[in-house]
Structure 1
Amino acid sequence: MKKWLSPLLLIVFFVLSGIAHYAGWDSTIQFILAAIAVIFVAGFLGKATESVSHYAGQRLGGFLNATFGNAAELIIAIFLVKEGLFDMVKASLTGSIIGNLLLVLGLSIFAGGLKFKIQKFNVSLAGMNGSLMIVAVISLFVPAVFLNTHAITTSDSKLLSLIVAGILIVAYVFWLVFSMITHKDYLADVTEDSDEELPHEHEPEWSKGRSVLYLIVATVMVAFVSEWLVGTLETFTSKFGLSELFVGAFLVAIIGNAAEHSAAVMLAMKNKIGAAVEIAVGSSLQIALFVAPVLVFASFFFGNTMNLVFTAIELLAIGVSVFIAKSIIQDGKTNWYEGLMLIVVYVILGVSFFMV
């Protein structure tokens, strides 16, 4: 029964969300249906990614999940950039980074830790990820400081943002070359062949070709639902008196991160914490080092360049998230209480953002 029930619900909510959008139903109903549809599509995406990771390995599987999972955020953000809603774009980028580092990573470590006392992954990879997260913070911190201290003008900040964006994209491409090609074995996950893996671990129900096909189909579905969701945001925000900062940083981010949530937690509970960390941390790095820079260039081509100047509150949230996440993953070991600490910080930030 379960085998056909989930696909049926996926199709039903996807179709209902599309009808609600194109038929012009009430914005609240549109938002709820689109949000539910994104969650079902994300579950489908997570299952497809897990199947692909079985064939490609934990690191590549985690990278693919982060990439396809971030497709939702990138598509949502491009629509927002086109509308000129830069504040909401930056808030959603902030929410994606802190959501992955605190909520996705926290839930994964917590869920995995309840089942396995100590979970281990490659300590060298943890160190590299930590250093890259600091680079991401620096890249967002520098333009804001230079503009807010009046060392540069607003037009200069746009030029600086374009230059920084270009440098970050190059750095990210080289990181992929380093981690996936030249130092692939050095960063290989220690739990890949662990004796602690579940004894009933079995072959995925989908073939390699079908898994890749479903991954692409799920991403296309996420793209459609994301567009429908964005169409309701402005009305929904004003209707309930919510700030753009809270909606962008938490509501959009939580819904957009649904793919990472489902896949990372499932993998952690199967003692594949390396893949879970790769999804959560890798996704945050991809947002900061690739997605944000791509959006800067997209806005440039739309004729109104978005700068990389984030607010003090957003920078504080990102800085705090990177600090606590780096301190927890740097030893290559995790337990359930460390996951709980990440969730606690996320809740504190969420309450603070809500009160803005």
Structure 2
Amino acid sequence: MRDFHDRRSIVPPPSAANAARAALSELRRTPLLVLILFVPAVILLEQVSPEAHTLLFFLSVAAIVPLAALLSRATEAVAAKLGDTLGALLNATLGNLTELVISLAALHAGQHLLVKASIAGAIVTNTLFMLGGAFLVGGLKHHLQEFNRVSARFQASLLFLATIAILVPSLISEVDRVPAGTFSQQLSLGLSLLLIAVYGLGMLFSLKTHRELFASGGHVDEDEKPWPLAVGIVVLVGVTLFVAMVSEIFVGSVQVAAQRLGMTPAFVGFIVVALVGGAAEMTTAFSAARANRLDLSVGIALGSAAQIALFVAPVLVLVSYFVGPEPMSLQFWPGAVAMMLIATMAATLLSNGGRAAWYAGVMALAVYAIFGLTLFLLPPSA
């Protein structure tokens, strides 16, 4: 009888057992969550050895990846409980929260080059690396895949509009030799308000007045159960705080670490921050492509890029008037503008037909590799 009671005493209660099973299920669904161990490691290292910039840089990069995955999952869980319209609005607003928090930390530190590089890099990474990778991964399993080309054209058009808005301040200051100070800031402020308004009207168009044009095969797995609303909100708030902490460490170490590793903040922002911040979305896009749900992959890639260009970048310009040493403008260096334009045109061409095969992915990834190699070997000056 004593042995029986002893065995019963070590059996976890049902709630703990359910929580353990849920955690294991979530870990199997998102293997990137294993990297969550780097979060306390980088926070502890920053307290013990703040001068270890290179190690802090690598640990913070590894820590941001699982936090981004949790943010994405929590956002989906909260959005699923709010209905289609409010859920889609929340998903669109918080979909790039990781990149936004990292950029805010860099903005507070006055590293405008890193912020602009991360914005341009996120746009190019989503339109070339994520979209090309989805085409390649899906095409290797399926001979030919189809997707909603109306939705893809709409997102590509929004992206092209935002790229033009970014091109204008840089082009005017270069060609007309206009003083870059007050004019650039005033123009950037007006363009930011315009882009946010266009983004809001675009969401009204796609989610309300013409939503039938953007129908797809569905975005949720039947076997996947969303988290309870309370759990989603708690995780969303908690993980956002951790992302802010790790982002501060990342921004504080990136400059010294980049110099030691032979990189510049421009390369780190354009390539590293974009890949790390979009890791969770890339995992979802690639998995959807393998499952022959290319609508979801294309929507994530182009929708995220358009959201960064039309919403995240303008918001950062507005916030820079209250955070950081001086306001930030939308004036990018010519190389970044050229890369964003080329990436936008490539995405338009790739999504024009509504069909994809694996070699289309190879071409998009090749363009991305050209950009990455160019930035690494010949980075732009501040």
C-alpha offsets along residues 101-132 of structure 1, whole Å, 9 cap, x if unaligned?
11111112211222222222222112211211
Q: Deviations over 1:65-108 (max 9, x none)?
A: 66434111111111212222112211111111101111111112
Tell me if the contact between 1:161 and 1:307 (Cα under 8 Å) persists in the aligned partners: yes
Q: Which amino acid aligns with 1:15?
A: P
Which shows bigger deviation, 155-164 or 40-49? 40-49
SS of residue paired to 1:186: helix
Paired residues in the alignment total 350
Identity %: 35
Decide whether the 8 Å contact of 2:32 with 2:69 is kept in 1. Answer: no
Answer yes or no: is 1:261 the counterpart of 2:262: no
The Cα of 1:136 is off from its aligned counterpart by: 1.3
Q: Higher relative contact order by CA 8 Å / sep ≥ 6: 1 or 2? A: 1
Describe the shift of the 1:59–1:120 C-alpha distance in structure 2 as closer, same or farther (beyond 3 A). Answer: farther
CA–CA distance in 2 between the matches of 1:237 and 1:58?
43
Cα distance in 1 between the residues matched to 2:58 and 2:350: 35
Q: Sort the Cα spacing of 1:212 and 1:351 in 2 relative to 1 into closer, same or farther, 3 A.
A: same
Give the deviation of 1:351 after TM superposition.
0.4
Which residue among 128, 133, 146 is the counterpart of 1:120?
146
1:9 pairs with 12, 30, 34, which one?
34
Q: Does 1:90 align with 2:112?
A: no
When residues 137 and 352 of structure 1 are mapped into structure 2, their CA distance, relative to the original with a 3 A threshold, is same
Which SS does the other structure have where 2:218 is aligned?
Answer: coil
Q: In the alignment, does 2:265 pair up with 1:240?
A: no
Q: Which amino acid aligns with 1:187?
A: F
Amino acid at match of 1:72: T
Determine if the alignment matches structure 1 residue 299 to structure 2 residue 329. Answer: no
Give the alignment's TM-score, normalised by structure 2.
0.82
TM-score normalized by the length of structure 1: 0.88
Distance 1:205 1:27, change over 3 A: same
What residue is the counterpart of 2:213 in the other structure? 186
8 Å Cα contact 2:124-2:340 kept in structure 1? yes
Structure of larger gyration radius: 2
For structure 1, which segment, 139-148 or 209-218, has the greater mean C-alpha deviation from structure 2 after superposition? 209-218
Residue 275 to residue 216, structure 1, CA distance change in 2 (3 Å):
farther
Tell me: CA distance 1:281–1:212, structure 2 relative to 1, closer, same or farther (3 Å): farther
Does the CA contact (< 8 Å) of 1:100 and 1:281 recur in 2? yes
> Corresponding residue for 1:280?
301
- Contact (CA 8 Å) 1:50, 1:263: kept in 2 or not? no
13, 29, 44: which one pairs with 1:19? 44
Counterparts of 1:107-256 in structure 2, within 5 Å, are: 107-150=133-176, 152-154=178-180, 155-189=182-216, 191-192=217-218, 201-204=222-225, 206-207=227-228, 210-211=231-232, 213-256=234-277
Q: Which amino acid aligns with 2:311?
A: F
Instruction: Name stretches of at least 5 consecutive residues in structure 1 with no aligned partner.
Output: none
- How far apart are the structure 1 equivalents of 2:329 and 2:77? 38
Contact 2:33 2:66 (C-alpha < 8 Å) held by counterparts: no
- The alpha carbon displacement at 1:57 in A equals 9.5
1:342 is aligned to 2:364? yes
Give the conservation status (yes or no) of the 8 Å contact 1:30–1:232. Answer: yes
Deviations 1:150-191 (A, max 9, x none): 3532221111111111111111111111111111122111x2
Residue pairs, 1:56-75, within 5 angstroms: 67-75=93-101
**More displaced 10-residue stretch of structure 1: 116-125 or 325-334:** 116-125
Looking at structure 2, the residues matched to 61 and 223 of structure 1 have their Cα atoms a distance apart, in angstroms, of: 24
Contact 2:145 2:294 in 1 (8 A): yes
Q: Give yes or no for contact 2:126–2:305 (8 Å, CA) kept in 1.
A: yes
Residue of structure 1 equivalent to 2:9: none
Counterpart among 52, 57, 61 of residue 35 in structure 1: 61
RMSD: 2.9
Using a 3 Å threshold, how does the CA distance of structure 1 residues 4 and 258 change in structure 2: closer, same or farther? closer
Cα 1:67–1:274, aligned 2, differ >3 Å: closer, same or farther? farther
> What is the one-letter code of the residue matched to 2:39?
F
- The structural deviation recorded for 1:44 is 3.2
Q: Deviation digits for residues 319-355 of structure 1, max 9, x if unmatched?
A: 1111111100122222222122111111111001111
